């Protein structure tokens, strides 16, 4: 009679490693997304800072109200041009 214990153990270990690799992949993806989001927020803050330094006349020339600087900075950083 042949025992399949070694084969079952190998099969279980293989699935355990695959599950671990999948979990690590999901974690890595979440970390990348978090860093990307952090980077975008830093860029928005930098743009907001630059716009805040403009005087009201300069802001008026480019069509921005001081109260709309945050939204305009977000738009400038997150806008994705989709072509012509």
* Structural domain includes residue 10: no
Q: What is the pLDDT of residue 4?
A: 61
Q: What is the mean pLDDT of each run of 10 residues along the chain (84 residues)?
A: 67 90 95 96 97 96 96 94 75
Residue 50 lies in a domain: yes
By residue range, what is the domain housing residue 78? 35-84
pLDDT at 72: 96
Give the SS3 label for residue 11: helix
pLDDT of the residue at 1: 47
Q: How many domains does the chain have?
A: 1
Residue written as tokens 């190998």? 10
> Cα dihedral sign for 47, 51, 52, 54?
positive
pTM over 0.75: no
Residue 64 forms part of a structural domain: yes
C-alpha dihedral, 25 to 30 to 33 to 39, nearest 10°? -120
Q: Which ranges of the chain does DSSP label H, i.e. alpha helix?
A: 5-53, 56-61, 69-78
């Amino acid at each position: 009679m042949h025992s399949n214990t070694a084969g079952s153990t190998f099969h279980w270990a293989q699935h355990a490693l695959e599950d671990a690799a999948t979990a690590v992949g999901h974690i890595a993806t979440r970390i990348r997304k978090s860093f990307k989001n952090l980077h975008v927020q830093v860029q928005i803050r930098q743009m907001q800072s630059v716009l805040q330094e403009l005087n009201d006349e300069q802001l008026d020339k480019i069509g921005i109200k001081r109260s709309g600087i945050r939204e305009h900075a977000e738009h400038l950083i997150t806008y994705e041009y989709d072509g012509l």
